[in-house]
Amino acid sequence: MSSSLDQILQKDFIETDREKTVGNYRLSSILTSSRFSDVRLGFHLHHGHKVAVKCIKKLGKSRSQKQILLFKAEYKSLISLKHRNIVKMYETMVTADNMYLVLEYIDGKTLSALIKERCGLGEDMSRFLMYQLVTAVSYCHSNYIIHRDIKPSNIMVNRELHVTLIDFGLSCNANQKECMTQSCGTPVYTAPEVYLGIQHSFPRDVWSIGVVLYEMVSGCPPFFDLTTKHKNDIIENIHRKLFFPSHLTQGCQDLLTKTLTICIKDRISIDDMLLHSWFKDVS
């Protein structure tokens, strides 16, 4: 029941939350639900293999172009990316009313949940997890893909502490001109150049990684507190001196400083991150 993307986008999409069979899969409970989509647990009818099935929200005949573009972006990115730390896409499915992305099921929890559960992670665990994330993003960038929404809730961690980067709905190809000026992403993790309307590219992902790392080792994002209500508050906070918890090593502080540099040309590259001394003991 696979189909080309052009054929998929000719359909009128609607969502249903009842258990049902689509193609070779039985769709069960909703795993996550967002403004734009639901992700449901699925089982292959013949061998019972678990999958995560991303379904478009109920739209009826008034299809939202934005939502279609999100699915198109994820499809185009995942079909070209094959990496152990990036979620796998197995196939797309089309019915008379719906479009689905059949994805790898990750038996684990989000990094966001892990950080909350432990009130922050130690440097050793953070280093091990972060190295995997940086490796995945480096691979994306080598294939001209910018994720544009790197945050703890888009990073899965299993029991063996294996990291998987998910949700490429906001991703784009770096060669697309509109990719350089579009304002998108989750405010707390979004690079300052995006807010300021400056042309942006791969370094925006590096900034997001820096925010994630800070949250991992401290328990909270660097530019967000209980008084932060609007993106203007975040912009104001970004221009303040970065505060480091006293327990952080100099190596960790140095890496954070280099990733959370406002000036794009001075910000560390994703490949130089992999060579940073803080990662030297990662096996």
Point out which residues pair with 42 in neighbouring strands: 27, 51
Residues 180 and 258 both lie in one domain: yes
What count of residues does the chain have?
A: 283
Of 17, 38, 149, 266, the active-site residue reads: 149
At position 155, the amino acid (one-letter code) is: I
pLDDT at 69: 77
pLDDT at 198: 86
Residues 90 and 206 both lie in one domain: no
Decide if 38 is catalytic: no
The two three-digit tokens of residue 269, written as one number: 């590259």
Q: The CATH number of the domain where 44 resides is what? A: 3.30.200.20
Residues 32 and 114 both lie in one domain: no
Q: Which domain holds residue 40?
A: 5-104
Q: The CATH number of the domain where 262 resides is what? A: 1.10.510.10
Residues 224 and 255 both lie in one domain: yes
pLDDT at 13: 45
Residues 50 and 112 both lie in one domain: no
- Phi–psi pair at 35, nearest 5 degrees: -60, -35
Distance CA 96, CA 98 (A): 6
pTM over 0.75: yes
pLDDT at 1: 45
The two three-digit tokens of residue 63, written as one number: 């299809």
Q: DSSP letters of 205-221?
A: HHHHHHHHHHHHHHSS-
Nearest one of 135, 168, 139, 138 to 151, comparing CA atoms: 168
- Beta-carbon contacts of residue 168 (< 8 Å; ≥ 6 apart): 73, 74, 77, 78, 81, 87, 145, 147
Residues 153 and 264 both lie in one domain: yes
pLDDT at 274: 97
The list of the chain residues with pLDDT below 50 reads: 1-2, 12-16, 61-62, 226
pLDDT at 14: 45
DSSP code, position 229: -
